[in-house]
Chains A and B, each alone.
Chain A
Amino acid sequence: MQTEELRLDGNAAGGVLRELFAQDVTAALGTCAGCGTTGAVGALLEYGHGMGTILRCPQCDATVLRIVRASGQLRVDLSGVLFLTIPE
């Protein structure tokens, strides 16, 4: 298996993101705290693993969002998101 085949999109994290947010945020615009680029959450790069999900910026590869499920807890690191604009 090639490493690139492990890379998905933010779309794929739509289910777990709906556990955090009241509505879909894959169409929301997020601004990366690393480089300031703004793009759809669904267009972030998703790296899934056994315990959770990491979403990275397609421009600078910085970690934008980390979601880890462990010990009956959902732990979320949003420090890579500078700003989130959710369409209503």
Chain B
Amino acid sequence: MNETIGERVVASAPAPPRLEWQVATVVSVIQETPRARTLTLDVPHWPGHRAGQHVDVRLVAEDGYQAQRSYSIASAPADGMVALTVERLDDGEVSPYLCDVLQPGDGVEVRGPIGGYFVWEPAQRGPLLLIAGGSGIVPLMAMLRQHARADAAARAGVPVRLLYSARTLDDVIYRAELERLADPPQVDVVLTLTRQTPPDWRGYHRRVDRAMLEAVSWPSADEPNVFVCGPTSLVESVATVLVALGHDASRVRTERFGPTG
């Protein structure tokens, strides 16, 4: 609110917004893989987000029992809507509802955006190295989408590489979009499949290891900004190797998914 004092207009400092629960409406659902689904949400009072942030989702049963989980935002800040990609965990309390039950037009309680640590801004200088395991691709996709929306000069200033580990090719979330980013190459996309591979597979076929990280990452002297997201075991082994390879731990940002659900 502006207050006029004499001839000067003084902007009073806005009160910091509280993080409130609100009911978002499901606008669309997309089945990304057999186990992952994207929910696009219209959140009425959405202040905007940064690539890498997450929201909390809360389900309340009729008897008052509550279950709450965090889900990363997949959409770029400029997309307007909030897209969450949720992996269905069979023994989960929340993800089966989000993946099987929720339909366009339904409401769901969310609060966010949350987080200021695992966040990429285009102004961060240096190459961008993204390493994902499974549904850990989701917050990294927000970064890739933000990067893809920048103009050619800005994109050229921030080269991007993605190393993405999935069980099988069918488990690769956003596969078609990643193929478009890779050809013509805006982003170096490197896939490794840990279980089944197609007959003509030319990518890696093993878990992410030191040799793979040495081949894919920039030398530490290039000071890449690194974001690692996935299961806790993958994230910790990748971060340990990168630091051993000479990368400054403060530039290796991690988000452990652990078992959510």
Contact = CB atoms under 8 A, between A and B. Distances in A.
Interface in B16-61: 16, 19, 54, 56
Contact of B117 (A4, A6, A23, A40): A40
B19 A19 contact: yes
Contact of A22 (B16, B118, B253): B16
A43 B252 CA distance: 10
B248 interface: no
Interface string A1-15: 110111111111011
Q: Which of B16, B116, B118, B236 has the most CB of A within 10 A?
A: B116
A42 B233 contact: no
B254 A15 contact: no
A1 B233 CA distance: 12
B254 A43 contact: yes
Given A9-B255, A11-B54, A27 B19 contact: no
B111 interface: yes
B117 A7 contact: no
Interface string A27-56: 100000000000011110000000000000
A12 B235 CA distance: 14
B239 to A, nearest CB: 10
A23 B117 CA distance: 13
A77 to B, nearest CB: 21
A75 interface: no
Interface SS of chain B: helix, strand, loop or mixed? mixed
A28 B118 CA distance: 12
A27 B114 contact: no
A26 B232 contact: no
Contacts of A25: 116
Interface string B239-261: 00000000000000111111100
A26 B19 CA distance: 14
A15 B111 contact: yes
A64 B111 CA distance: 25
Contacts of B104: none
B186 interface: no
Interface string B55-99: 010000000000010100000000000000000000000000000
B87 to A, nearest CB: 14
Contacts of B259: 1, 5-6
Contacts of A12: 70, 255-256, 258
A5 B261 CA distance: 13
A7 B19 contact: no
Contacts of B236: 4
Contact of A27 (B111, B116, B254): B116
12 contacts: A4-B232, A6-B232, A6-B258, A8-B258, A11-B255, A14-B70, A14-B114, A14-B117, A15-B70, A24-B116, A26-B116, A43-B254
